[in-house]
């Protein structure tokens, strides 16, 4: 009997420990609800959700990832009503958020071939690679998936011809139901072309490489470069240039971000003869206007 007592004590401790493990494993995850408030440079008109459904034209894309070493995808969603953007987060976990907003995105980003929204809102399935990029449906809800996220939100590789606002928040700890503030920044610069000494014919302005061309968005010339034309009756023009490549990984776009691109100029005389006038660099600055002055008399001397 004396020998049995230590054994019984050991058995009691073992069973008690097993019960604790079973209870721990049966505890369900606790979730908290998170909504979003966009601040910063986003125009006030885009911050309202009061417009009727048939007048909601702007698109809001939101990526939610775990704030771990791999930045594993957690949820994503495309919205035209920001008040419906409500995501369930695991309590005690850290997350990062990436947000892209396109004013009038329903028109600018819609792809008639896919019947959904593409361009900046293209999705990527991680385990299938780049070829798996596909359009994203607009359902005003989050999709929870550990392998799917918005492909272009992690530093767009090309420039678009429309305005985009970008926001980023890292290391957010989900503790209670909460509304998070996202600081939105304009992801574009304005370029103004001005012609001088253009008495006849026309000047054509064009960016050179595929990655540095604002995309022309239509059924017939998708992915074709936009060529800007100046004539004696139209001596200046303006266009939007969306920025790209502001760093590796998911870093927030710097306030003073800019990059240099190259453009080509050609002159076409009244007889249709085309003359290349050279290639020149231009610095595109976030939130500012860049003025490019094209003096035909000076260009013809080079």
> pLDDT digit string (tens) for 143-155?
999 988 888 887 7
134: left (phi over 0), alpha (psi -120 to 50) or beta: beta
Residue 18 belongs to a domain: no
Q: What is the total count of domains within the chain?
A: 2
User: Is residue 52 located within the same domain as residue 159?
Assistant: yes
Query: Average pLDDT over the chain, rounded to whole?
Result: 80
Asked if residues 153 and 133 have their Cβ atoms less than 8 Å apart, the reply is no
Residue 264 belongs to a domain: yes
Q: Which of 152, 186, 220 is the last residue of a domain?
A: 186
Lowest mean pLDDT among 104-118, 212-226, 229-243: 212-226
Report the percent of the chain where pLDDT is more than 90.
43
Q: Model pTM greater than 0.85?
A: no
Q: DSSP 3-state helix, strand, coil percentages of the chain (rounded to 5)?
A: 20, 45, 40
- For the segment 283-298, the average pLDDT, to the nearest whole number, is 89
CA distances from 204 to 194, 229, 233 (A): 12, 5, 14
Q: Which of 167, 186, 205 is the last residue of a domain?
A: 186
- For the segment 15-39, the average pLDDT, to the nearest whole number, is 66
User: Is residue 248 located within the same domain as residue 169?
Assistant: no
Query: For position 52, what pLDDT does the model report?
Result: 64
Residue 142 reports pLDDT greater than 60: yes
Query: For position 171, what pLDDT does the model report?
Result: 93
Residue 18 reports pLDDT greater than 70: no
- What token pair was written down for 176? 């209670």
> pLDDT digit string (tens) for 74-86?
999 999 999 999 9
Residue 102 reports pLDDT greater than 90: yes
Residue 210 reports pLDDT greater than 90: no
User: Is residue 155 located within the same domain as residue 245?
Assistant: no
Query: For position 300, what pLDDT does the model report?
Result: 85
User: Is residue 44 located within the same domain as residue 67?
Assistant: yes
- Domain range for 265 is 188-301
Q: Which residues contact 250 (CB under 8 A, 6 or more apart)?
A: 65, 71, 96, 98, 154, 168, 170
Q: Which of 267, 258, 63 is nearest to 150 (CA)?
A: 63
Lowest mean pLDDT among 116-120, 147-151, 219-223, 258-262: 219-223
User: Is residue 199 located within the same domain as residue 249?
Assistant: yes
Asked if residues 58 and 103 have their Cβ atoms less than 8 Å apart, the reply is yes
């Amino acid at each position: 009997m004396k020998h049995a007592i230590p054994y019984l004590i050991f058995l009691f401790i073992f069973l008690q420990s097993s019960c604790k493990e079973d209870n721990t494993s049966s505890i369900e995850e606790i979730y908290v609800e998170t909504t979003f408030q966009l601040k910063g440079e986003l125009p006030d008109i885009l911050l309202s959700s009061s417009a009727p459904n048939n007048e909601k034209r702007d698109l809001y894309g939101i990526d939610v990832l775990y704030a771990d070493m791999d930045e594993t995808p957690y949820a994503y969603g495309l919205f035209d009503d920001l008040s419906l953007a409500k995501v369930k987060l695991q309590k005690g976990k850290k997350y990062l958020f990436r947000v892209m907003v396109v004013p009038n995105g329903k028109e600018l980003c819609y792809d008639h071939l896919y019947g959904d929204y593409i361009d900046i809102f293209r999705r990527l399935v991680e385990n299938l690679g780049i070829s798996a990029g596909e359009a994203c449906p607009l359902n005003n809800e989050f999709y929870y998936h550990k392998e799917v996220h918005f492909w272009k939100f992690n530093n767009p590789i090309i420039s678009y011809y429309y305005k985009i606002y970008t926001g980023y928040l890292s290391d957010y700890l989900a503790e209670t139901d909460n509304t998070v503030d996202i600081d939105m920044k304009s992801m574009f610069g304005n370029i103004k072309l001005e012609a001088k000494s253009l008495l006849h014919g026309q000047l054509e302005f064009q960016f050179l490489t595929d990655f540095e061309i604002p995309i022309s968005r239509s059924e017939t010339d998708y992915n074709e470069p936009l060529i800007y034309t100046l004539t004696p009756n139209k001596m200046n023009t303006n266009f939007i240039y969306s920025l790209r490549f502001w760093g590796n990984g998911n870093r927030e776009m710097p306030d003073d971000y800019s990059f240099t691109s190259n453009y080509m100029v050609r002159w076409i005389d009244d007889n249709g003869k085309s003359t290349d006038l050279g290639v020149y660099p231009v610095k595109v600055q976030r939130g500012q206007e860049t003025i490019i002055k094209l003096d035909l008399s000076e260009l013809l001397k080079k």
